[in-house]
């Protein structure tokens, strides 16, 4: 009997071994490139999946993919706005040209996210949102399969946003100076975009109007003089209150070719706590950082620090040429445990200083949902920690991920106090925009502590209001104080600010005060202003990267400029400002409606090579339906 059993076991073992050998002999490592069939451009983030399985990968920045698959199996290539293509595997090299699916481009898609545990391969790519150009390879969204339960957004219990009161009108006679730090963060727009795509009305405090405006790039002229910054202004009738004026102040930092950017010393600081386990967190972090790694040079360096219950270094400083080593370190990361964010930040700065490149680009890239719960975790504690660390010369970029427990309030503090910037990554498209397309502006500063002060001439201005920038306001004395921290400008970065102006002679419906009973109202020229055609003067201070002494620039804004034809950029940016005010239900939204936003934005499309402005109109159209 025992002999019979042993023989049976041997036969089974032989059959199993044979099957394994056969499978291995048929296992191919298939590589290839996916391009747009029309313009031949590589497609980033195409889903490549083995048909009938949950195994898959995505294409990198150059459209390249690599996957192990048995010979005879079928690979399915899916991408937003393109016709799905299936290819039977018969060789190790497969190149695919995807054709745009113009029929789907007119559909409006509300994207739902699931809360179940899934691998990145479980994700399908949704159709490209309506309005995005069919020949744009930039845009796609990651969504769960249709059977996944929809995520219930609860801002009061799960997501944290700092409350703030919007700026109000100020009297130009009694308070003629407006001072603020430039805000280079854009996280609010992509975060709110995520909410709208989920079919949810955004939380009021999640909307920061200046970050909406500055999400988009504008065609501002490059600096040509001695300063690395250029200032331009434009004045038009205010689109939400025709009696008022709207002044746009645009700032453009000098462009630096990627090959001329100094060597980078990057520390990838990655939250691997339990809250990062879902597919739109740690798996998306890995894919995002791989996009960045693909574009690093040999002289660039990468270290990886992680934190959960404790912090640790997972990859010592490694050349950007050794991409496979960096990829393997990223792939080895898994999520679990509590969140010692403060300890992770401490270690990341230590590693950055250890590998500091003098005259180089030294930067920590923090990837997290902001849910710190061990050690230094309060907003005040994090603020003190970052204020201490920013003296090291190491900059901080914060990439926010996830939903449901996203702690925007903490990440805003880190961003504002840490010589850096803050973006929210809701999909691989956004990662590609921030880390690849806008690498210079996101990852390499050309000026620091940039702040602005505007003086209004009461001869022409009765009252004024800064649109947005509530968390960036400074005291008037701070403008000339070089110890006061302010924002940084990256290479090629554009920053925009709007002032709504109530001209002299127009009734101020938003306040103002009666004449004083016990004091005489002065009628001197100094109080009434000077009629010299200057409505206001814009002053800007910045510090060169190698100096702690600021340099001042200034330019006047003429009242006669209001008669010029509005630019495409002014038209679009004012539509974005209008949209943000509607989302916040601003006291100053005036007569604006979502239809006004859509109409105005369409007039400001311009070339829109990446399709972001078309996508904005789609969001406004979706929000119009949600707000009914």
| Tokens representing residue 386 in the block | 């970052």
pTM: 0.74
- Cβ pair 320, 296 in contact under 8 A: yes
Residue 139 reports pLDDT greater than 50 = no
Residue 12: pLDDT band (50, 70, 90) is: low
* Residues 139-151 as b or e (16 or more Cβ within 10 Å = b): bbbbbbeeebeeb
What average pLDDT does this structure show over 297-321? 90
220 and 307 in a common domain: no
**Phi, psi at residue 401, to the nearest 5°?**
-135, 155
318 and 385 in a common domain: yes
Sign of CA dihedral 605, 611, 614, 620: negative
- Cβ pair 583, 207 in contact under 8 A: yes
- Which of 145-159, 342-356, 501-515, 542-556 shows the lowest mean pLDDT across its residues? 145-159
Count CB-CB contacts under 10 A for residue 152. 10
Count CB-CB contacts under 10 A for residue 591. 9
Q: What percent of the chain has pLDDT over 90?
A: 42
269 and 211 in a common domain: no
Residue-level pLDDT at 134: 32
Taking alpha carbons only, the member of 566, 569, 532, 352 closest to residue 455 is 532
Strands 96-98 and 124-125: unpaired
Comparison of pLDDT for 530 and 582, the residue scoring more: 582
Count CB-CB contacts under 10 A for residue 528. 15
Residue-level pLDDT at 140: 29
DSSP SS3 for 498 = strand
pLDDT digits (tens, 9 = 90+) for 385-399: 777 777 788 888 889
* Rounded Cα distance, 159 and 188, in Å: 13
Residue 137 reports pLDDT greater than 60 = no
Cα-based torsion angle of the residue sequence 420, 421, 426, 430 in order, rounded to the nearest 10 degrees: -100
Residue 412: pLDDT band (50, 70, 90) is: confident
| Tokens representing residue 546 in the block | 């190698």
* Rounded Cα distance, 38 and 565, in Å: 37
Residue 178: pLDDT band (50, 70, 90) is: very high
User: Would residue 286 count as lying in a domain?
Assistant: yes
Residue-level pLDDT at 129: 34
488 and 385 in a common domain: no
Q: What percent of the chain has pLDDT over 70?
A: 80
| Tokens representing residue 60 in the block | 């990198």
What average pLDDT does this structure show over 46-60? 76
What average pLDDT does this structure show over 504-524? 75
* Rounded Cα distance, 167 and 403, in Å: 28
Residue-level pLDDT at 558: 94
Strands (E), 309-460: 311-319, 361-368, 395-400, 420-424, 445-456
242: CATH: 2.60.40.1230
User: Would residue 436 count as lying in a domain?
Assistant: no
User: Would residue 252 count as lying in a domain?
Assistant: yes
Residue-level pLDDT at 213: 96
The 3-class SS string of 337-372 reads: CCCCHHHHHHHHHHHHHHCCCCCCEEEEEEEECCCC
Give 607's contacts (C-beta < 8 A, 6+ positions apart).
none
Range of the domain at 39: 24-143
Question: Considering 429, 461, 482, which residue would you say is the last residue of a domain?
Answer: 429
206 and 123 in a common domain: no
pLDDT digits (tens, 9 = 90+) for 344-375: 888 999 999 999 999 898 999 999 887 665 45
User: Would residue 5 count as lying in a domain?
Assistant: no
Residue 16: pLDDT band (50, 70, 90) is: low
**From residue 376, how far is each of 346, 353, 384, 491 by CA, in Å?**
10, 21, 10, 33
* Rounded Cα distance, 256 and 253, in Å: 9
Residue 510 reports pLDDT greater than 90 = no
Mean pLDDT, the chain, rounded, equals 81
109 and 183 in a common domain: no
Residue-level pLDDT at 68: 87
Query: Looking at the DSSP assignment, which residues form a beta bridge with residue 363?
Result: 266, 395
Q: How many domains is the chain partitioned into structurally?
A: 3
Residue-level pLDDT at 211: 94
DSSP SS3 for 28 = strand
Query: Looking at the DSSP assignment, which residues form a beta bridge with residue 498?
Result: 248, 467
Residue 250 reports pLDDT greater than 70 = yes
Residue 438: pLDDT band (50, 70, 90) is: confident
User: Would residue 30 count as lying in a domain?
Assistant: yes
- Cβ pair 380, 415 in contact under 8 A: no
Residue-level pLDDT at 152: 32
217 and 349 in a common domain: no
292 and 188 in a common domain: no
User: Would residue 515 count as lying in a domain?
Assistant: no
Residue 327: pLDDT band (50, 70, 90) is: very high
462 and 552 in a common domain: yes
Query: Looking at the DSSP assignment, which residues form a beta bridge with residue 448?
Result: 543
* Rounded Cα distance, 557 and 501, in Å: 12
* Rounded Cα distance, 115 and 552, in Å: 51
| Tokens representing residue 517 in the block | 């009973």
Q: Looking at residue 436, what DSSP letter applies?
A: I
38 and 61 in a common domain: yes
DSSP SS3 for 108 = coil
Place of tokens 């975009």: 193
What average pLDDT does this structure show over 581-606? 94
* Rounded Cα distance, 32 and 95, in Å: 5
Residue 146: pLDDT band (50, 70, 90) is: very low
- Which of 37-46, 289-298, 390-399, 585-594 shows the lowest mean pLDDT across its residues? 37-46
User: Would residue 544 count as lying in a domain?
Assistant: yes
User: Would residue 355 count as lying in a domain?
Assistant: yes
575 and 617 in a common domain: yes
182 and 100 in a common domain: no
* Rounded Cα distance, 570 and 576, in Å: 10
275: CATH: 3.40.50.410
Give how far the C-alpha of residue 315 lies from the chain's centroid of Cα atoms, to the nearest Å. 26
What average pLDDT does this structure show over 184-203? 88
Sign of CA dihedral 137, 143, 144, 148: negative
Question: Considering 429, 459, 476, which residue would you say is the last residue of a domain?
Answer: 429
DSSP SS3 for 84 = coil
Residue-level pLDDT at 619: 93
């Amino acid at each position: 009997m025992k002999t019979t059993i042993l023989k049976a076991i041997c036969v089974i073992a032989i059959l199993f071994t044979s099957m394994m050998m056969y499978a291995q002999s048929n296992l191919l490592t298939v590589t290839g490139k996916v391009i747009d069939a029309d313009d031949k451009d590589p497609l980033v983030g195409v889903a490549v999946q083995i048909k009938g399985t949950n195994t898959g990968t995505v294409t990198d920045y150059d459209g390249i993919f690599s996957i192990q698959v048995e010979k005879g199996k079928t690979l399915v290539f899916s991408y937003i706005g393109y016709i799905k293509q299936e290819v039977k595997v018969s060789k190790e090299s497969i190149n695919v040209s995807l054709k745009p699916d113009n029929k789907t481009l007119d559909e409006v898609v509300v994207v739902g996210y699931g809360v179940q545990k899934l691998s990145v391969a479980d994700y399908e790519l949704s159709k490209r949102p309506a309005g995005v150009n069919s020949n744009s390879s930039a845009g796609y969204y990651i969504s769960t399969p249709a059977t996944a339960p929809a995520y219930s957004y609860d801002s009061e219990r799960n997501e944290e946003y700092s409350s703030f009161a919007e700026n109000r009108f100020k009297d130009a006679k009694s308070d003629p100076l407006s001072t603020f730090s430039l805000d280079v963060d854009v996280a609010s727009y992509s975060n709110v975009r995520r909410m709208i795509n989920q079919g949810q009305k955004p939380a009021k405090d999640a909307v920061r109007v200046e970050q909406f405006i500055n999400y988009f790039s504008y065609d501002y002229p490059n600096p040509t003089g001695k300063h690395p910054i250029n200032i331009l202004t434009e004045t038009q009738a205010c689109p939400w209150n025709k009696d008022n004026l709207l002044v746009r102040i645009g700032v453009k930092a000098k462009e630096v070719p990627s090959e001329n950017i100094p060597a980078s010393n990057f520390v990838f600081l990655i939250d691997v706590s339990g809250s990062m386990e879902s597919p739109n967190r740690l798996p998306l972090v890995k894919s995002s950082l791989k996009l960045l790694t693909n574009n690093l040079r040999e002289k660039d360096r990468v270290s990886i620090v992680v934190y959960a219950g404790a912090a640790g270094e997972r990859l010592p400083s490694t050349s950007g040429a050794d991409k496979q080593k960096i990829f393997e370190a990223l792939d080895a990361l898994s999520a679990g445990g509590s969140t010692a964010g403060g300890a992770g930040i401490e270690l990341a700065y230590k590693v950055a200083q250890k590998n500091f490149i003098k005259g180089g680009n030294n930067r920590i890239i923090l990837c997290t949902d902001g849910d710190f719960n061990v050690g230094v975790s309060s907003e005040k504690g994090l603020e003190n920690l970052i204020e201490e660390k920013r003296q090291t010369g190491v900059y901080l970029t914060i990439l926010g991920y996830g939903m449901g427990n996203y702690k925007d309030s903490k990440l805003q503090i880190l961003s504002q106090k840490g010589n850096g910037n803050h973006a929210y990554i809701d999909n691989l498209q956004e990662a590609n925009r921030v880390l690849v397309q806008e690498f210079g502006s996101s990852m390499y500063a050309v000026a620091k502590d940039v702040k602005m002060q505007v003086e209004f001439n009461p001869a022409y201005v009765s009252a004024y209001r800064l649109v947005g920038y509530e968390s960036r306001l400074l005291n008037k004395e701070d403008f000339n104080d070089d110890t006061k921290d302010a924002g940084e400008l990256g290479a090629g970065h554009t920053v925009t600010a709007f002032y709504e102006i109530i001209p002299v002679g127009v009734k101020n419906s938003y306040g103002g005060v009666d004449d004083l009973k016990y004091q005489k109202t002065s009628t001197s020229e100094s109080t009434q202003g000077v009629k010299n055609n200057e409505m206001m003067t814009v002053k800007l201070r910045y510090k060169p990267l190698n100096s702690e002494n600021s340099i001042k620039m200034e330019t006047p804004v003429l009242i006669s400029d209001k008669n010029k034809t509005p630019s495409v950029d002014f038209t679009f940016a004012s539509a974005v400002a209008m949209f943000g005010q509607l989302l916040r239900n601003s006291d100053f939204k005036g007569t604006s409606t979502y239809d006004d936003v859509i109409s105005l934005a369409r007039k400001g499309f311009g070339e829109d090579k990446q399709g972001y402005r078309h996508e904005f109109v789609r969001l406004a159209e979706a929000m119009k339906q949600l707000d009914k």
